[in-house]
Chain A
Amino acid sequence: MPGITREEVAHLARLARLELKPEELDHFAGQLDDIIGAVARVSEVADQDVPPTSHPLPLTNVMRPDEVRPSLTPEQALSGAPAQEQQRFKVPQILGEE
Chain B
Amino acid sequence: MTTTTDLVSYEDALAAYDPVMGLEVHVELGTKTKMFCGCSTALGADPNSQTCPVCLGLPGALPVVNATGVESAIKIGLALNCEIAEWCRFARKNYFYPDMPKNFQTSQYDEPIAFNGYLDVQLEDGETFRVEIERAHMEEDTGKSTHVGGATGRIHGASHSLLDYNRAGIPLIEIVTKPIVGAGERAPEVAKAYVRELREVIRALGVSEARMEMGQMRCDVNLSLMPKGADKFGTRSETKNVNSLRSVERAARYEIMRHAAVLSGGGTIVQETRHFHEDTGSTTSGRVKEEAEDYRYFPEPDLVPVAPSREWVEEIRAALPELPLARRTRLLAEWGISATDMQAILNAGALDLIVATIDAGADAAAARKWWMGELARSANESGTALDELAITPRQVARVTELVAKGDLNDKLARQVIEGVLAGEGTPDEVVDKRGLKVVSDEGALTAAVEEAIAGNPAIADKIRGGKVAAAGALVGAVMKATRGQADAARVKELILDKLGVTEG
For B130-161 the 0/1 string (1 means CB < 8 A from A) is 00000000000000011110000001111111
Q: Across the interface, do B47 and A86 meet the contact criterion of CB distance under 8 Å?
A: yes
Cross-chain contact A55 with B160 (CB below 8 angstroms): no
Task: Collect the chain B residues with CB atoms within 8 Å of residue A45's CB.
Answer: none
- Determine if A36 is an interface residue (Cβ-Cβ < 8 Å): no
Instruction: A61 to B303: give the CA distance in the assembly, Å.
Output: 9
Q: Known contacts A59-B304, A71-B50, A72-B51; decide if A89 and B66 are in contact (CB<8 Å).
A: no
Once the chains bind, are B165 and A89 in contact (CB under 8 Å)? yes
Tell me, rounded to whole Å, the shortest Cβ–Cβ distance linking B291 to chain A.
Answer: 10
Tell whether B476 is near chain A: CB-to-CB under 8 Å.
no
Q: A61-B307, A66-B66, A66-B67 are in contact. Are A88 and B32 (CB under 8 A)?
A: no
What residues on B are CB-neighbors of A92 within 8 Å?
160
Closest to A75 in B: B48
Q: How large is the interface on A (under 10, 10 to 19, 20 to 34, 35 or more residues)?
A: 35 or more
Give, as a whole number of angstroms, the nearest-CB distance from B413 to chain A: 45
User: Complex formed: what's the CA distance from A96 to B155 in Å?
Assistant: 8
Flag whether A65 is at the interface (Cβ < 8 A): yes
Contact of B67 among A65, A77, A80, A95 (CB under 8 A): A65
Q: Categorize the interface residue count of chain B.
A: 35 or more
A66, A78, A97, most chain B CB atoms within 10 A: A66
Q: Is the CB of B299 within 8 A of A55?
A: yes
Q: Which residues of A64-97 have CB atoms within 8 Å of chain B's CB atoms? A: 64-74, 77-78, 80, 85-97
In the complex, chain B residues whose CB is within 8 Å of the CB of A64: 38, 64-67
Residue B89 CB within 8 A of the other chain: yes
For the residues of B in contact with A, the DSSP-based class is loop
Q: Which residues of B contact A15 (CB under 8 A)?
A: 94, 96, 294, 296
- In the complex, the answer to whether A69 meets B33 with C-beta atoms within 8 Å is yes
Within 8 Å CB of B70, what residues of A?
63
What's the Cα separation between A68 and B169 when bound, in Å? 13
Shortest beta-carbon distance, A81 to chain B, in Å?
Answer: 9
Q: A74-B46, A74-B47 are in contact. Are A66 and B146 (CB under 8 A)?
A: no
What is B's interface to A at a CB cutoff of 8 Å?
1, 31-33, 37-40, 46-53, 56, 58, 64-70, 87, 89, 94, 96-98, 101, 145-148, 155-165, 294, 296, 298-299, 301, 303-308
Q: Could you list 5 further interchain pairs (A-B, Cβ under 8 angstroms) beyond the known A68-B33, A77-B51?
A: A61-B308, A66-B67, A71-B50, A73-B49, A97-B157
